[in-house]
């Protein structure tokens, strides 16, 4: 047993190092200059830790502004997608009306539509509504494409919540909104965490919509901003690495905070299956 335990620990350590090494390499890469990067020391420790690369990326390359824009767009998208999907799912699963199943089917069909296939129609609609080159040009499409997956997840959770809880709350004098936000919402917290992470990843890392719908430098998101750091004739790769580290940190932080809730949602889904 001790030998098996030792082998298991070795395998887990190797797996951990394999997963963490790209992040460690990126941090080391961000602290080097071009001479060191192209001089053969790509993977090793830098000869000099160039912390100025982060200052250059955040201030001169305006990564700080791009980061703020991404936080704003992604944050509003997550809140809007969770709210709209939760209320929609509750209306479909709990309320009795003729077209509830058809509405659920129509929403889930959205999972089959590739985002980039709708690029031209969305562009035309946003242009007619005078929403191009604004935060809403990204928030609205991101939210719309996040809703089908969110409804799919919420629907599964809502079906597993006993109706007796809501009936008891109704007898105690709660209205429909109090039942939804005070009784049901706390029970679907793992689903909320899962949807928040999926929505965050799809919005934070999205590039095609951000390039097409936004032109002003003051409104660009971090994915577009880092792309513009590549020069036409020469490129300082150290500051680009610093920008990538800044862009990666929120992902690590959010998953660290919400990982337990995501694991709970997976366990619940496994038990239901």
Tokens of 239: 């500051």
Angle made by CA atoms 41, 205, 235, in degrees to the nearest 5: 35
Please tell me the predicted confidence (pLDDT) of residue 233: 63
Please tell me the predicted confidence (pLDDT) of residue 115: 83
User: How would you write the pLDDT of the chain (273 residues) with one tens digit per residue?
Assistant: 677 788 888 888 898 888 888 888 889 888 888 888 887 777 778 888 888 899 988 888 889 999 999 999 999 999 999 999 999 999 998 888 888 888 888 888 888 888 888 999 999 999 999 999 999 999 999 999 999 999 998 988 888 888 888 888 888 888 888 888 888 888 888 888 889 988 998 999 999 999 999 999 899 999 998 888 887 567 888 899 999 999 999 888 888 887 776 666 656 544 444
What is the Rg, in whole angstroms, of the alpha carbon atoms belonging to the chain? 23
Please tell me the predicted confidence (pLDDT) of residue 43: 76
**CA 42 – CA 74 distance, rounded (Å):** 33
Angle made by CA atoms 248, 252, 257, in degrees to the nearest 5: 150
If one counts every other C-beta atom within 10 angstroms of the C-beta of residue 199, the result is: 25
Instruction: Judge contact between 30 and 238, C-beta under 8 A.
Output: yes
pTM over 0.75? The answer is: yes
**CA 245 – CA 23 distance, rounded (Å):** 8
Residues 47-72 pLDDT 10s: 888 888 999 888 888 899 999 999 99
Please tell me the predicted confidence (pLDDT) of residue 169: 85
């Amino acid at each position: 047993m001790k030998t098996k335990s030792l082998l298991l620990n070795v395998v887990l350590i190797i797996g951990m190092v394999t997963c963490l090494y790209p992040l460690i390499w990126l941090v080391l890469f961000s602290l080097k200059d071009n001479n060191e990067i192209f001089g053969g020391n790509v993977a090793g420790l830098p000869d000099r830790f160039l912390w100025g690369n982060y200052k250059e990326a955040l201030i001169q390359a305006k990564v700080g502004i791009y980061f703020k824009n991404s936080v704003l767009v992604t944050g509003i998208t997550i809140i809007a997608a969770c709210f709209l999907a939760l209320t929609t799912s509750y209306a479909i699963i709990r309320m009795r009306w003729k077209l509830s199943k058809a509405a659920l089917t129509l929403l889930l069909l959205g999972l089959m539509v590739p985002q980039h296939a709708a690029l031209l129609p969305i562009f035309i609609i946003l242009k007619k509504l005078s929403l191009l080159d604004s935060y809403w040009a990204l928030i609205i499409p991101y939210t719309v494409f996040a809703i089908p997956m969110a409804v799919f997840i919420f629907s599964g959770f809502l079906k597993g919540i006993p109706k007796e809880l809501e009936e008891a709350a109704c007898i105690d004098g709660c209205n429909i909104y109090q039942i939804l936000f005070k009784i049901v919402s706390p029970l679907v917290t793992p689903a909320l965490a899962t949807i928040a992470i999926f929505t965050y990843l799809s919005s934070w890392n999205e590039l095609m919509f951000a390039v097409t719908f936004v032109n002003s430098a003051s409104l660009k998101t971090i994915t577009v901003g880092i792309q513009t750091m590549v020069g036409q004739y020469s490129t300082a790769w150290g500051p680009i690495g610093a920008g990538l580290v800044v862009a990666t940190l929120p992902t690590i932080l959010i998953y660290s905070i919400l990982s337990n809730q995501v694991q709970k949602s997976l366990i619940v889904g496994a038990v239901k299956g």
